Structure 1
Amino acid sequence: MSKRHDAMHPGRRRFLQSTALGAAALPVAMLGAGAKAAEVGGIKLPAAILALQPVKSQVVPITDDERRARLAKAQELMGRHGMDAIYLDGGTTLDYYTGMRWWTSERLMGMLLPRSGDPVYITPAFERSRALEQIRFGHDVRTWQENESPYALIAQLMREHGASTGTLGIEEKVPFFRSTGIAAAMPQAKLAPATPVTAGCRAIKSPAELALMQVANNATLALYKAIWQSLEPGMTQQHIAAWVDAGYARMGLRGEASINVGTYTALPHGSREPQVIRDATPVMLDDGCYVEGYQSDITRTFTLGKASDQMKRVFDVVAKAQRAALAAAHPGAAMESVDAAARKVIVDAGYGPGYTYFSHRLGHGIGMDMHEWYYLVEGNPRKIEAGMCFSDEPGIYIPGEFGVRLEDDMHVGADGARWFTPQSPSIERPFG
């Protein structure tokens, strides 16, 4: 249930703000000997973490042919939705279509994709050579100097495509100051959300995308199991931070995890307060990693040693709700119906009404961004389509006592939904 809405945004969910490591935000090559050492930052790495192995051999990157098909689908959707072109900033969607990994700043760098023909890239003049290093689709690169308006350049491109009075779709993550600048430069044109195109492509995952997400989910679950096997009462969040960074580094990945203990598990996104692992106290471990840009998001709630009867009961109710959501997620089902299926189990067990104890939506779309289209939430009648992926994460949170959330990502096929990872079997034995 990560708070992050963009691809591994550094610092957004780091549970250890004061650590000297911060390795999850760094390329593995920059970790030096830390990825192999038996100790990191003065914290000993347990055998289960040291046993984690690289996943590189399992990773098959997205091909250029698949990206060409994505561009073609985008242009088909643009025609269907009456758009003459769409504008994308640097970021996840540009990466999705082109493989370019260029993160936006106050300087406009992006791509204009017309309804027909090759994409056109707009970049600061001094960045042209760096952009050319990554461009693989089309050869038209337009540059602007620091004393020139990039918005005027976009307006010029629209005129060249005979669309100066047409409709330009704007990617939803383009900053407001940028979209208003574009609008001012082409007052006769209409600006519209490009979401029917961008989400229309990205929300439906290909087999290659599902394979990358499977590797990411497997890696996160393997790391969580290694952490659970190694925890001892008295350990702190600093221990887990070191293990997470080193564990993902050993697998050749980057990722994060939040850990919350005891009464803090009753807060869906936990707390930054220092916490210590205690025997027979609930522990909630959440977040994920990314593989070739594709995300995982898994939550496990467990105890070290014996759990109380109340904890076991709550766990069992949440597990039943998670299974009900999985069964309800199939092509043609309304997205709100999946939330309703899980919520009914929880309310019928006495943890209601509504959002009283299950205080958030059932799930979110997931893919290249950890949170993306669409949401499994009351009030969303959109129909599920084959190829969509969501988190399935019901929870019960009892203020001042404890909370339980179980989260696995699921992908929807023609015959229904399946989890990428096996459901947690019990609060005392979360990995069987």
Structure 2
Amino acid sequence: MLKRFFASIAFLLAATTANADLQIEITGGINEGHKIAVYPFTQNPAVKLDVASVVSADLMRSGKFSPIASSALPQGAVANGSITNLDAVAATGAEVAVSGIVNEVGANTYNVEFVVTGLQGANKGKVLAHFKGNSSVATMRQAAHRVSDRVYEVFTGQKGCFRTRIAYVVYKKGATFPYQLMTADYDGYNETPIVKSTQPVMTPAWSPDGKRLAYVSFEKRTPAIFVQDIYSKKRTKLSSFSGLNSSPSWSPDGTKIAMTLSKDGQPDIYYYDLNASKFVRVTANRAIDTEPTWAADSKALFFTSERGGKAQIYKFDFATSKTERVTYQGARNLSAKSIPGTNSLIVITQVNGFRVARVDADGSIYMLTTSSLDESPSVAPNGSMVIYSTVYQGRKGLALVSADGRFKANLPSSSGEISAPAWGPLLSK
């Protein structure tokens, strides 16, 4: 389950944790991934969180797994956190089983141990993974996400991203501080307000170390770009030129922040060099260039431009100083984001409305959503999922889709409207 995102002095910096629910409504793909049996962990009664339920939900949302319903799992097949009846569990069609135990090892300290056991073919009965680590009750959800990360990596060879965080903007009409920049675990828990304002807050972007956010503020009634440390609450004004200051985007190597500025006339792409403390202009064209985003190697910038007549995605290569058009299909293509580990992009494309799509290296476009008012896509750091803003049942909220289009879910909010999601980086530990 996800949490409800809600809104709230121009830029009062807050340290409290929000606590409200937002319901995930799955709309497709739950039966298309690899079958996996996640058994309830044997848990100390003091641990109220159902670790296995968190793990099962994580794996399902990745689009790569189809966890078997707990009611369909053979009973009596697990003892002390280990599978004891392989044949019964294998008969469900699951490829692997996850089982575990949570034991108290000290004052508010619990050891979370789990095993991934093969169920089919040559892997039947083999321990494919065995991990353990300590956690407090307060960090047990993160421990559960760590289990999910390990299982995902063992099965796919890629790092899981279930311990990552997201940032997003909430608008609550009529509130004292209607605009709020929030962060939360990827599944909406542990929400923390970073900024509250009476004026709009827009387009948050994470630093590669996950410690800072760049965002646009209208607190002085004109746009300005700030960088804020989410732990110390210290913030620095990056740009407040006359005209447009928008769309900050951190380079993966952490040395630059790209943005759109109109300080020299037409909106163009610039970046701020954090080491040299200076702005560098990237584009100088008689057309609107906006929405910069970095290639994974920090050696190129993708951006949206109308230089060809209608908005399409272009790429600027720093080594050659050349710009090339990337997208040709679709009436318009906007808001490009690189998919880590691939040569593909996620975009918003205009086809029967505005929808999330994947653009592959050959320029072909694969539609990922069927809604018509999608915007602001952000890609998980392992490339497996996309979070974006859409309109669902008349209200703006967030939604998830796997990068292969298998899994889909809406995240409607019962309080306020949510937009501009940004997926944070992988945690190093």
**One fold, TM greater than 0.5?**
no
TM-score, normalised via structure 2 length: 0.30
Higher helix fraction (1 or 2): 1
TM-score, normalised via structure 1 length: 0.30
* Structure of higher RCO (CA pairs closer than 8 Å, 6+ residues apart): 1
Higher strand fraction (1 or 2): 2
